[in-house]
Structure 1
């Protein structure tokens, strides 16, 4: 009617209901905003965690790389120092040579106590003569083959065929030297590699040679150093048999694998002579 029509429009609404509905809408809006904020926060945290994980992995990888590089550098420095030391020792090393055919003692009897092994230093004394070279070259002692001949006989290390391997560590201990025996049962590769390594460290090596360029039946010699030329190892040898005819005996006559520098001092091809002929 006309009277009601003249009333304000707002009077037709329930203010409390409107307010309540507005409050509900605000709450829903706030909830949506909070939900959006929560998802964004989760995403941000996930990205931060991923970034932190990646950074940690990169730092760990960098640390590992730095440690490996430091270890490699240290190893290279140690190897260089070892080579330098070996070179210095080589430069100052006094090498003493003895021949088993020296007329002062070559005919001196070298028989075993039980009489089963008979001979003289010239025929059977390559082992004691070679050890004499090693002792006089490495220690402050000066001995001669006749001295070691007496010790070997007394120790029972004079055996049929020459001198037993047990003689060498006993003599080394007596004259305050370190000595390691490599068994005949080891592979040729192993024996050869150990000999080369020892020479590279500046040590001397006594090698018992099987039939080949050095002997017909067995012979002790002393390796003094190794030299690598164009990828080939040449082993320098002091041979107590200073006029050894085995070097040029057939079938390797003049094969170039043994080079005589002077009587008793030669160099031999490592892979083709020393390695296959070591006992």
Structure 2
């Protein structure tokens, strides 16, 4: 049985984006609770994510945003609560379970191997063998095919600064390395892509490139969760903003319904949202 849809507690979604919310959420979390001894990590958190949207998750340190994401991506198993993916209840006991279900995560600490080339990083732990007897018997990798498909994945994201899939990742800039990680998530995240602080420690130009990639992911129909402390970046790319505070959800707003100062005030407790009827 599908989870009850959460009400959209705002009416400021642009008309051009409202069609996204006419269908059921692709991912739903209900009443998630997790504790670490006497510390409450999540206290009954609900979340809905829709195809073709960027849902930002913001909150102060210790608010539970990372804990929420880890429950969604299989790094943590909640003590109670439910997760549904495409209307079906799921249980992730490890990150591999979430990946196999179509949820890819790009963590703040980039999981790329500097000494390997771009194509090898994109297919890391997903290497493909050559067709026929060369792959099945001699277990030879399809390096040429992986390079070609890696190039297609990068081009589909509109990444112009990376051309040679045989280039070692250690020769790339920070923004280009982030682009490789995002491209890998986009290539294998068939349903949901989670981005944890993707612009941290990047310059203005490189951050702009990553933000453009996030918009491109959304426009291809993927559902994107963005965790970020950078409020200007959140207000630039997010369709909706889920605010975590003290282990619970303090509300969901949009960049059109609230200014950045309002979002920060709600996040810190200086302001509260009026409860919906």
- Normalised TM-score (structure 2): 0.28
Between Structure 1 and Structure 2, which shows a larger proportion of strand residues? 2
- Normalised TM-score (structure 1): 0.28
Between Structure 1 and Structure 2, which shows a larger proportion of helix residues? 1
